[in-house]
A and B are shown apart, each in its own frame.
Chain A
Amino acid sequence: MGTTSTISLILNGHIPFIKEEADPQAPQKYWLYNLLYETLIPLLQTFDRLEGDRIPFKLGIVFSPLLIQQLQDPALIESFIQFLDAKIELGEREVNRTRDIPWMNHLAHTYYDRAIEYRVLFTERYEKNVIRAFDIYQKKGKVEILATAATYAFLPFYTSYPEAIKAQIEVALKTYREAFGRFPEGFWLPEAGWNPELDEILRSYGFSYTVVDTHGLLQGHPIPQEGTFQPVRTPAGLKVLARNLALSRAVWDAHEGYPTHACYREYYWDIGYELPREDMKAFVASDGSRQQTGYKYWAVTGGEGEKQPYIPQDAHGQIQKDVDAFVELCESHLDTYRRLREKEGCLVGAYNLDLFGHRWYEGIDFLETFFREVAQRSSFVVDTPAHVCAHFPQEKLEEVMPEFSSWGENGFGETWLNSSNDWMYPPVLKITEKMIELAERFPNDGGLKERTLNQAAREVLLAQASDWASMLHYQQAVEYARHMVESCVDNFSIIYESLGGNYISTEWLTQLEKRHAIFPDINYRIFRKKR
């Protein structure tokens, strides 16, 4: 380890598969629009500013293969531009509507100006391709982009089927290589879901490290001597970093985390939920549900009183206080560790990307202020997770096998396996098993049969996405989640039986390929047993 303590932040970016319906106003498409508008564009803009001011910043970002492909989908990009235009149009009306309420009018102007600015940034500066823009920062060494499983499957549930895990990883590697022209160093475990069976598999694909949640390491075998302050080495030779609990809670805790402060902008109070629907046409989804517009005027406030107006200056002042607290938290942990072990340590803070900007409006400002603050201090440096790992020579790391763990509720698999979603696993695991069987049965097939088998592989991967279980558990977009699982299982079943009967309807297949158009160059043989 070097002579300086290190902080490494990792932002986990992923959205579910949203392309099934062609309609640009399908409700799930707003997930992508909001992630782009409220998180990705402002984050790139922040990187531009930090670089312009020569502020050193380094961090890790996860882009799931589903997110990468959907961010580069031409139809979705065009829909997003329409969304931007609708924001601008709404802004004009909001500036007019709020003209008699000065504080509200000031916010309306801010949002309106931002919509125009982001449209220009997206279409001109980032040339409608934010993935490429982030890759530029990766090439500059400021950002490290981590890979993750193809459809963000919760991998511990698939350890009976190592071929399925390998298929998730092979598709992920291909997508990553096409997007970034290189191999990733780090593998982000979907939902931080780890179990020891993943060790050999991840190492066999050349990943040098992964990240587990705090308890995954602290419950490891043996208990690590350095706690979560240094990486460990698994028996297969994978380096493992652990998410630091204190850093996670400070930002992410639903009750005490920084975003809960009364002066920050309230997430749920949006004019999309308030104004007459005829004025909100672009923000009413095709199923009739109202969507957020981003025109939000109220602060979190807290307590049971009336919501207070959102005052950006107050929020900005609070950001500085929260960054100070966060930096002091880092320093106190690293100082205490140094005193205890007479070594420099590292801390990993890992969060969902959409927390910043989307869920926590001021979150991007928090990141920028954090990097600016760290630049003025000498107590620690920020670095990418791969660089942090590289500082620790393999042979000097303690060998520890982390224990089964995740960052879900209660620390294991409960979020993705409970009475709301357990019905999906028997059919999903069954089609997984049958896909492996098909790949073995038809090793060298081409033509229409190969095309059909490739679609079968897509259906299995989509069915395995952890998103559906999460959505069922959290009761969000429940119908869509259930529909996706059912339709993927049904589609696979139809293909399986068609292959048995040696009959395939090309019309049906073509329609399905359009509906579930993901991983265009997939090769179903990724499901074959490796010999």
Chain B
Amino acid sequence: MNATVLTGNRLFPMIGAMIENQLSRAYLESLSTEELLAVADKIGLDIPLDLNRTFIIQEILDAHAELLNVESYDLQEESADTFERKKNKPSSAIYNSTYIDVLLRDPVWAFVFWHIREQDRRTYEASHDFNGYFLRVSSCVPGKTTEGESFSIDVDIQDGSWYICFPAPQGWFTVELFVKKGHHPILLATSRPFRIPRTVRFSPLELEQHPLGPVLLLSGIEQMRIVYAKEYSPGQYTGCN
């Protein structure tokens, strides 16, 4: 017994023509599951019978994009366009300032994003000794000016955001945005101090010897599916967005 009890066997003459054209998510969502399976079959996809329609639609979109050798329905591409459009809106005074900000994603990765006031950007980049922009990530003690350890990341003039991987398993940091004029860095913006949280991962042996081991085990400490802070390993600290 299967779904055809409900639907009967039907042919889909429109599918061939449809596949020739651009498929859209909205269009696929308007099709019945049987019609979706027929589309999948037409473009050579082997779809398991119990796959839910959300995944069938995504599989079709991915496969179709590949077939046509066009940009896939990749959210990142769509999102980047949207973000560029926002960022480049010349009329909006709201966005046209120089700043840098940080969102902590987890104990390993932070999302750093910045903007340079358009007029300033043009001036910097037109300068004969313009030598690019870079970020400096520094450990810090909130409220104190003492400089801690730091590392720098060169960023492209087109960049507006990066994911930065943090080498230390915990501690406070700031990120600064610089423009390089020749070899001289000029500070453009500084983020607020932010804290990389601590994560503790016990080995089975440590848990066995820990006075709280039995209660922690009973609480599920070994089964937690979370991101743990990494041990320091040089060269692992950046990822371009």
**Which residues of A are at the interface with B, using a C-beta cutoff of 8 A?**
101, 104, 156-157, 160, 195, 214-215, 218-219, 221, 223, 225-229, 242, 244-246, 249, 267-269, 271, 273-277, 284, 287-290, 297-298, 301-309, 333, 336-337, 340-341, 403-405, 410-414, 417-427, 429-431, 434, 472, 475-476, 478-479, 482, 486, 489, 492-493, 496-497, 500
Beyond the given pairs A269-B33, A493-B92, 16 more chain A to chain B contacts, judged by CB atoms under 8 angstroms and listed by A's residue number, are A215-B224, A218-B224, A225-B212, A226-B215, A227-B221, A245-B219, A275-B32, A287-B29, A297-B6, A403-B198, A420-B76, A423-B86, A426-B86, A429-B101, A475-B58, A497-B91
Interface size on B, as a range, is 35 or more
For B227, list chain A residues within 8 Å (CB). Answer: 410-412, 414
**Nearest CB in chain B to that of A500: its residue:** B93
A531 CB, nearest partner CB in chain B, Å? 21
Q: Which residues of B contact A489 (CB under 8 A)?
A: 86
- The interface residues of chain A lying within 8 Å CB-to-CB of B67 are none
Q: How far is the CA of A295 from the CA of B224 in the complex (A)?
A: 38
Q: Is B125 an interface residue (CB 8 A)?
A: no
Which of A290, A336, A427, A500 contacts B31 (CB under 8 A)?
A: A290
- In the complex, the 8 A-B pairs of residues with the closest C-beta atoms, listed nearest first: A411-B226, A245-B220, A227-B219, A412-B106, A423-B83, A289-B29, A288-B30, A268-B52
Residues of chain B lying within 8 A (CB to CB) of residue A309? 1
Q: Which residues 200-240 in B have Cβ within 8 Å of A in the complex?
A: 200, 212, 214-216, 218-221, 223-227
Which B residues fall within an 8 A CB radius of A?
1-3, 5-7, 25-27, 29-34, 48-50, 52-54, 58, 75-76, 78-80, 82-83, 86-87, 89, 91-95, 101, 103-107, 111, 113, 115, 160-161, 192, 197-200, 212, 214-216, 218-221, 223-227, 241
* Among candidates A228, A271, A289, A430, residue contacting B219 with C-beta atoms closer than 8 Å: A228
A195–B106 CA distance with the chains assembled, in angstroms: 11
| Distance A107 CA – B213 CA, assembled complex (angstroms) | 51
Instruction: State the CA gap A403–B105 with chains docked (Å).
Output: 13
CA distance A333 to B82 in the complex (A): 49
Residues of B within 8 A of A223 (CB): 200, 212, 216
Question: Is there contact, CB below 8 Å, between A404 and B224?
Answer: no
Min CB gap A467→B, angstroms: 15
- Cα separation A492 to B78 with both chains bound (whole Å): 22
Complex contact B224–A214 (CB within 8 A): yes
User: Are B197 and A304 within 8 A (Cβ)?
Assistant: no
Q: What residues of A have a CB within 8 angstroms of the CB of B29 in the complex?
A: 287-290
Q: CA–CA, A472 to B83, complex, Å? A: 14
Q: In whole angstroms, what is the CA distance A249 to B224 when docked?
A: 11
Q: Is the CB–CB distance between A411 and B106 below 8 Å?
A: yes
Contacts of A340 in B (CB 8 A): 214-215, 218
A303 vs B83: C-alpha distance when bound (angstroms): 42
CB–CB B75/A419 < 8 A: yes
With both chains docked as a complex, state the minimum distance between the C-beta of A189 and any C-beta of chain B, in angstroms.
16
The smallest beta-carbon distance between B182 and chain A, in angstroms, is 30
Contact B80 A423 (CB under 8 A): yes
CB within 8 Å for A289 and B216 given contacts A423-B80, A496-B94: no
Is the pair A284, B30 in contact by a Cβ cutoff of 8 Å?
Answer: yes
* A271-B6, A288-B26, A478-B25 known; A421+B216 contact, CB < 8 A: no
Decide if A227 touches B212 in the complex (CB within 8 Å).
yes
The smallest beta-carbon distance between A120 and chain B, in angstroms, is 29
A219 and B95 in contact (CB under 8 A), knowing A214-B220, A337-B215, A472-B79? no
